Structure 1
Amino acid sequence: MTTAVTEPVVLRHALGRAVAVVGWTAALGWLVAARPPGGTGLLFAAGASGLLWALCWRPAVVLDDDGVTVRNPLRDVRAGWAALDEAGFGWSLWLRAGDVTWHAAAAPGPASMSALYDRHVTAGGVLERDAVARAGQRPAPALLAVRQRWEARRAVAPGGLTVAPAVASIAVLASSAVLLVTAALTG
């Protein structure tokens, strides 16, 4: 029996994305308006931009036919559907495979105010806002998406678990910290 391949679904926190865009716009506006001398403004804007990318833009939960990948600022966790043991919600989506439990920064739980900006998956894999379905009326949209794909694929998808540092994100965070400290000391 062959199962149809479905497109990956990428869940991201809409409020985090909005914060990143507003931050980048503010940094650019400040650079243009203030024109700080000596390049310290550029160092500050570049450092702040890196922080916004790593903390607000990059985090995601990726659901595909073989498993779920959680991209957080410091590490990436990939679990095949057969390896996943449990999925639930607290302050954020959490998943467990064996002895490893991890949380998804990109999928806040219904207990947090930021969950009002979460997104859910429609039948066609399209993400849309649903602020009304909070406060215990139904499970969080990200949890529903994980459980639906898990139920459909765990019998035929491979298992396995990989936990790896998010090397690019860590490098951006470290570089951003250096740029911000440099801007503070030279400004």
Structure 2
Amino acid sequence: MASGLVAVLGLFLLVDAAARGSWDVVWSAVGPVVAVVWVLWLLTVRPVVRLDDDALTVVNPLRTTRIPWAAVADVRLRWQIVVQTAEGNTVTCRGGPSIRGSRPGRRGELSVPHEPEELRTIRRRWHSRRASSPADIAVRREWDRPAVVAGAAAAVLLVVSVVALAT
């Protein structure tokens, strides 16, 4: 929500400056506005955890990891969902749920941290699909192309803004 508000506000200010004919302001501000919106998008909107019949796909900022169910050794919750692979690697799911505060118990009772429903869903899918998933498929890590391309475009606009400020 907040990242959308920042994007709308930045766009509004750029359009306002363009409508007033202040192109020096537009060219000097477009880079920082786009860079801030890109960082907010990268950290708050882009990360996601996807489940399908064959694998668990983790989209983190700048990296995407596809883990076949047969390659998952453990799924646990630290601050975020963490997947341990059979190869011994650890993948932190930045787009998954995090530890929520525990509800206070009655007087004298211990409070138990709440386990997110999303974690239980991942574990159920893993337990049901690991036997039928092909064991020879490896974990695939790659750069998240849309995020990297958008970041490169933001960097170019940032350079344009610096040049516009210098002239």
Aligned length: 151
CA RMSD of aligned residues (A): 2.6
8 Å CA contact 2:31, 2:155 repeated in 1: no
From 100, 106, 128, the equivalent of 2:95 is: 106
Counterpart of 2:56? 68
141-150 vs 34-43, which moves further: 34-43
Contact 1:87 1:147 in 2 (8 A): yes
Structure 2 counterpart of 1:179, from 150, 157, 166: 157
The DSSP-based 3-state class of the residue aligned with 1:103 is strand
- Quick one: which amino acid aligns to residue 94 of structure 2? A
In structure 2, distance between residues paired with 1:34 and 1:83: 53
Within 2, Cα distance between the matches of 1:158 and 1:62?
19
Comparing 140-149 with 30-39, greater Cα deviation is found at 30-39
Q: 1:26 aligns with which of 9, 15, 19?
A: 9
Q: 1:26 to 1:158 in 2, by over 3 A?
A: farther
For residues 19 and 88 of structure 1, the distance between their equivalents in structure 2, rounded to whole angstroms, comes to: 29
2:74 to 57, 65, 86: 86
Hey, what's the Cα distance between the residues in 1 that align with 2:134 and 2:2?
36
The corresponding residue for 2:23 is 37
The farther-off stretch of 90-99 and 28-37 is: 28-37
Partner of 1:57: 45
Deviation for aligned residue 1:70: 0.2
Between stretches 48-57 and 87-96, larger displacement belongs to 48-57
Q: C-alpha distance in 2, partners of 1:182/1:55?
A: 24
Kindly tell me: are residues 55 and 176 of structure 1, through their superposed partners in 2, closer, same or farther at Cα, counting changes over 3 Å?
Answer: farther
Residue identity (%) = 27
Partner of 1:157: 133
User: Highest Rg: 1 or 2?
Assistant: 2
Q: TM-score, normalised by structure 2?
A: 0.75
2:70 counterpart SS class: coil
SS in 2 for 1:142: helix
* Residue aligning to 2:119: 143
Aligned to 1:170: 148
In 2, Cα distance between the equivalents of 1:95 and 1:48?
A: 30
Aligned to 1:54, what secondary structure does the other structure show? helix
